[in-house]
A and B are shown apart, each in its own frame.
Chain A
Amino acid sequence: MTLFIRPLREKDLDDLHAMARSAGKGLTTLPADRALLADKIRRTREAFDQQSAPEAGLYLFALEDSRRGRCVGVSGIEARVGRDDVFWNYRLSTTVNASRKLGVHVRTPTLHLTNDMTDATEIGSLYLDERYRQDGNGLLLSLSRFLYLQEFPGHFSDKVFAEMRGVSDKAGYSPFWEALGRRFFDMEFSEADYLSGLGRKSFIAELMPKFPIYLFMLSEAAQAAVAQVHDNTAPALRMLEAEGFNFNGLVDIFDGGPLVEAFIHNIRTARDSLTRPVSISAEAMDSTVPPAKRLMVANGAFRDFRVTTLPAHCVGPESVTVPVELAEILLVKSGDRVRLAPLKRGG
């Protein structure tokens, strides 16, 4: 069995719909709505076929299990946000009231509504079938995007960010939403979240307060939730932090979850990647090598991008030895250059 990354295609719709259904509330950008998902796949097709407007486009990747021929995971890149609609965030900034005369120097954390991420590249829409959450598959699904960004910088912004899911409880109660969004229109957080997944977030944003919000005016639970992630998202946050992403001072307008960002040239997977020409070997690959001793290997194709993993010992100073069955998956022949990067660190 080999798992590999490739562009999401029309044939993946059933698998994608099943994953969206089981993901439930955790996957805002992929609601379990067949028509909407089909539209996302169509947009993805246009992007990989370079039929999208220049520099714009949605790139969704599938993780395929080669033995079953099924899509078992999805991840995505939105080349530029805030082009068709308006991309809203709150910026967590500081207001200082000071007077020497009064001996007053008070800092007030303040939320300012911004469109600061307009034109930046967003990564998101990450979901992995529960049965495959092992052997570094999640890392492959997530990190392979950085190899794509590194390979095709002209199509993306230098600045890459991810919106991390904010704090909410099992019932879907979000303290930040209750203290802020809820006060401005009667809607459950889950409904607002669902609408935003349907691409109607900017409409909802029109109902949100535009003037600065002083944090002390929110409930204590809401204040505590600002820029904090949901427990389920903590591992994803740690992974992105290890890649060089940092909280950029912006939070989601609904749940207060943080945005983390990095510049492509500083993302570790992209920065530490290197290229080698392929030397094809007839020997079967040792599939027992643990994730820490495997490397991601990506072809350089824009339209038929493929990424999989192979043992680190396959990489030599002048070339990389690729077993023939992997070469078929990667759509490479002898002498083609591939991009290599570690799958797991510190292992």
Chain B
Amino acid sequence: MWILRPAKPLDLADIESLASRLNVQAPRLPETTDRFLFVLEDTGHGRIRGLAGIDASAGHGQPFYNYRRDALIHACHDLGVSRRIDVLYPSHALTGQSLLCSLLIEPELRQSHALALLSRARLLFIAQHREQFADEVVVELKGLQTETGEVPFWDSLGRHFFHMDFEAADRYSSELSKTFIAELMPPNPIYVTLLTDSAQAAIGVSHPLAVKSRDLLHREGFRESRYIDIFDGGPVLRAQIDRLETVVSGLTLVFRPGESAHGLLYLVASARDDDFRCVLSPLIEGLDGAAVIPAEMASALGICAGDRVQVAAL
């Protein structure tokens, strides 16, 4: 069984081991009340096999950096010439919006329902604590990277200002904060036509490994935006929280024990403030607003008959 729950200090070793298996930087445990990190626990193995985070306010009071894709028309009436020039403008416009971040999952689970649980449980959490979050939620998807690890967008731009490869900059970003690194980038707009061809081709394109995750987000109602990541050029997806599929279709029901192994699969989250948990469970919705779910799921959620649960169809 999969359980999604908040990360705890005791999970740190597991988190680091997962990150090192995936060859990425381990996210730090939240130190402030506006950051949330969840772990996906495999109860069969007692192991952590995925991570997902939310920042209630992107930038945490610091500027949150993106490039905004925009266009200028360079026109000269006298010469009868008019040309569209694509420009990347540094932008802080998304600062303070809520941010889905730190999604990590073991490769063999990427095709399973565990990915949906990991990603969407966050939206149930946001729905439960709606007032803590902004109007909008954004996600930065990992950008293009070659098989040999080169990041064409970084290599054409950021690299020249730091004299370091993407991996090193990424490491500093997670150690020091992305804002710290972003502030070292010059504040001027960038002409797309002057980037290398491979960097231009990488603008707003997500890494093949992010495809599943992107599809999930699309089904939720997220859409590609004019914003891209300033380091790898990956797309930034945006959505209005109150229009997210999980938020709109999510229901609050009352738990009733029962046999329901043949019900449809739902994300079921405990609606307790102190200990958020979410599982994938077969569920039958009673006519009286009851949620009938198997007893072992209820015990994993730590709920008793009569407790409220929040559910969304898988």
Return chain B residues, CB-CB under 8 Å to A184: 74, 83, 85, 193
- A104 lies within 8 A of B163 (CB): yes
Return chain A residues, CB-CB under 8 Å to B190: 211
- B79 lies within 8 A of A209 (CB): no
Q: Nearest A residue to B83 by beta-carbon distance?
A: A185
- A204 lies within 8 A of B79 (CB): yes
State whether the Cβ of A213 lies closer than 8 Å to any Cβ in chain B: yes
Q: Nearest A residue to B169 by beta-carbon distance?
A: A102
Q: How far is the CA of A207 from the CA of B195 in the complex (A)?
A: 19
State whether the Cβ of B186 lies closer than 8 Å to any Cβ in chain A: yes
- B160 lies within 8 A of A209 (CB): no
Chain A interface size, as a band, is: 20 to 34
- A217 lies within 8 A of B195 (CB): yes
Minimum Cβ distance to chain B for residue A184 (Å) = 6
- B184 lies within 8 A of A104 (CB): yes
State whether the Cβ of A18 lies closer than 8 Å to any Cβ in chain B: no
Q: How far is the CA of A98 from the CA of B189 in the complex (A)?
A: 20
1/0 contact string of B171-197 vs chain A (CB within 8 Å): 010001000110011101111011100
- B184 lies within 8 A of A97 (CB): yes
State whether the Cβ of A324 lies closer than 8 Å to any Cβ in chain B: no
Q: How far is the CA of A152 from the CA of B191 in the complex (A)?
A: 46
Return chain A residues, CB-CB under 8 Å to B164: 102, 104
- A216 lies within 8 A of B176 (CB): no
Q: How far is the CA of A130 from the CA of B6 in the complex (A)?
A: 85
State whether the Cβ of B273 lies closer than 8 Å to any Cβ in chain A: no
Q: How far is the CA of A72 from the CA of B78 in the complex (A)?
A: 35
Question: Provided the pairs A106-B162, A203-B78 are in contact, do residues A213 and B194 lie with their beta carbons within 8 angstroms?
Answer: yes
Minimum Cβ distance to chain B for residue A195 (Å) = 7
- A209 lies within 8 A of B191 (CB): yes
- A185 lies within 8 A of B81 (CB): yes
Q: How far is the CA of A183 from the CA of B194 in the complex (A)?
A: 8
1/0 contact string of B71-84 vs chain A (CB within 8 Å): 00011101101010
Q: What secondary structure prevails in chain A residues at the interface with B?
A: mixed
1/0 contact string of A88-127 vs chain B (CB within 8 Å): 0000000101110110101010100000000000000000
Question: Provided the pairs A183-B194, A185-B81 are in contact, do residues A203 and B162 lie with their beta carbons within 8 angstroms?
Answer: no
Return chain B residues, CB-CB under 8 Å to A271: none
Q: Out of B74, B79, B87, B186, name the residue touching A195 (CB < 8 Å).
A: B79
Return chain A residues, CB-CB under 8 Å to B188: 211-212
Return chain B residues, CB-CB under 8 Å to A104: 162-164, 184
Return chain A residues, CB-CB under 8 Å to B85: 184, 209
Q: How far is the CA of A195 from the CA of B78 in the complex (A)?
A: 11
Q: How far is the CA of A225 from the CA of B158 in the complex (A)?
A: 24
Question: Provided the pairs A184-B193, A211-B188 are in contact, do residues A203 and B76 lie with their beta carbons within 8 angstroms?
Answer: yes
Identify 27 residue pairs between A and B in the complex whose beta-carbon atoms are under 8 Å apart, listed by A's number.
Answer: A97-B161, A97-B162, A97-B184, A98-B184, A102-B164, A102-B172, A102-B184, A104-B163, A104-B164, A106-B161, A106-B163, A183-B194, A184-B83, A185-B83, A203-B78, A204-B76, A204-B79, A207-B76, A207-B81, A209-B74, A209-B85, A209-B191, A211-B87, A211-B188, A211-B191, A212-B186, A217-B191
- Further contacts, 4 of them, CB under 8 A, given A209-B191, A211-B87, A214-B160: A97-B162, A206-B75, A207-B81, A208-B74
Q: Which residues of B contact A (CB under 8 A)?
A: 74-76, 78-79, 81, 83, 85, 87, 156, 160-164, 172, 176, 180-181, 184-186, 188-191, 193-195
